[in-house]
Chains A and B, each alone.
Chain A
Amino acid sequence: MASRVPMELSSRWHAGWCAVLAMVVAGCVAPTLDQRRDAVNSINKAFRADYEAILAEKGTKTFNVTRAEAYDAVRVSMARLGMTVEAQDPVLGYVNVYAPAPLPLNQQEWEEAAAADLPRTREIIGPHVGIFRHFFNFEPKGLESVISGTVVETAAGMEISFTARMREIAPPESGFPRREYLPPAAVRMALDKMWREVEREFKATYRRP
Chain B
Amino acid sequence: MTEQAYPDALQPHYRMHWYTIEKVLGQGGFGITYLARDTNLDQLVAIKEYLPVEVVARRPDSTVQSRSEGQRERYRWGLERFIQEARTLARFDHPNIVRVHSVFEFNGTAYMVMRFEEGENLGALLERRGTLPEKDLLRILLPILDGLELVHNAGFIHRDIKPDNIHIRADGSPVLLDFGSARHALGKSRTLTILVAPGYAPFEQYHSNSENQGPWTDIYGLGATCYRAIAGTQPLDAITRSKGILGSTREVLVPARSIGSGRYSGQLLASIDHALEFAEKDRPQTVSEWRRELLGETGAASATPAAAEKPAGATPQRAAPSVASTVVAPSALPPVPPQAVSEMHGAASVARQSMARSAWSGARVTVAWAIAGAAAGAIAIAVFLRSPPPDPTAEARIREIQAELNRTKERLDKDSKELDAKTKERMLALLAEQRKLEEERRRQEEQARLAEQKKQDEERRRMEEEKRKLAARSKPPTTPATKPPPQPEIATRPPPLVIPVVPDSSEAPPVVAVAKPRPDPQAEQLKRGEAALARREYENAREILTPLAEGGNARAQVRVAAMYESGQQGVKQDLFRSYIWYSLAARGGDTTAAAGRDRMAARLQPVQVSQADRVVENWRPR
Contact = CB atoms under 8 A, between A and B. Distances in A.
A35 interface: no
A200 B614 CA distance: 25
A201 B332 CA distance: 11
A117 interface: no
A170 B249 contact: no
B330 A96 contact: no
Given A52-B607, A100-B351, A163-B605, A87 B614 contact: no
- Per DSSP, are chain B's interface residues mostly helix, strand or loop, or mixed? helix
A201 B619 CA distance: 25
B618 A94 contact: no
Contacts of A71: none
Contact of A173 (B330, B333, B344, B359): B359
A188 B448 CA distance: 48
B615 A100 contact: no
Q: Which of B550, B572, B577 has the most CB of A within 10 A?
A: B577
Interface string B8-47: 0000000000000000000000000000000000000000
B542 to A, nearest CB: 12
Contacts of B606: 52
A81 B606 CA distance: 25
Contact of A92 (B333, B352, B359, B619): B619
A80 B355 contact: no
B348 A99 contact: yes
A37 interface: no
B358 A163 contact: no
A94 B606 CA distance: 17
Interface string B349-366: 001101110110000000
Nearest to A68: B435
B355 A55 contact: no
A99 B608 CA distance: 19
A205 B248 contact: yes
A159 interface: yes
B128 interface: no
Contacts of A84: 348
Interface in A63-102: 72, 75-76, 79-80, 82, 84, 86-87, 89, 91-94, 96, 99-100
Contacts of A173: 358-359
Contact of A91 (B248, B352, B550): B550
Nearest to B621: A91
A92 B606 CA distance: 19
A100 B580 contact: no
Contacts of A169: 352, 355
Contacts of B356: 170
Contacts of B248: 72, 76, 201, 205
B251 A79 contact: yes
Interface stretch (A17-25, A119-127, A148-156): A148-156
Interface string B592-620: 00000000000001111001101101110
B622 interface: yes
A160 B599 CA distance: 26
Contacts of B607: 51-52, 55, 59, 163
A45 interface: no
B330 A204 contact: yes
A80 B617 CA distance: 30
A133 interface: no
A141 interface: yes
A82 B347 contact: yes
A170 B577 CA distance: 25
Interface in B530-548: none
A153 B622 CA distance: 14
A142 interface: yes
A94 B355 contact: no
A89 B549 CA distance: 13
B611 A161 contact: yes
A141 B355 contact: yes
Q: Which of B355, B358, B359 has the most CB of A within 10 A?
A: B355
A165 interface: yes
A154 B249 contact: no
B574 interface: yes
A20 B607 CA distance: 49
Contacts of A87: 572, 574, 577
A84 B574 CA distance: 15
Given A82-B347, A99-B347, A169-B352, A93 B608 contact: no
B611 A148 contact: yes
A159 B618 CA distance: 10
Contacts of B358: 173
A150 B614 contact: yes
B580 A92 contact: yes
Contacts of B355: 141-142, 169-170
A169 to B, nearest CB: 6
A76 B250 CA distance: 8
9 A-B pairs with the lowest CB-CB distances in the bound complex, closest first: A100-B351, A141-B355, A152-B618, A170-B355, A79-B249, A142-B355, A79-B250, A76-B248, A87-B574
Interface of A: 51-52, 55, 59, 72, 75-76, 79-80, 82, 84, 86-87, 89, 91-94, 96, 99-100, 141-142, 144, 148, 150, 152-154, 159, 161, 163, 165, 169-170, 173, 180, 200-201, 204-205
Given A55-B607, A94-B580, A141-B354, 4 more contacts: A52-B607, A93-B615, A159-B614, A163-B607
13 contacts: A51-B607, A86-B572, A92-B615, A94-B576, A94-B577, A100-B348, A141-B354, A152-B614, A159-B614, A169-B352, A170-B352, A173-B359, A205-B248
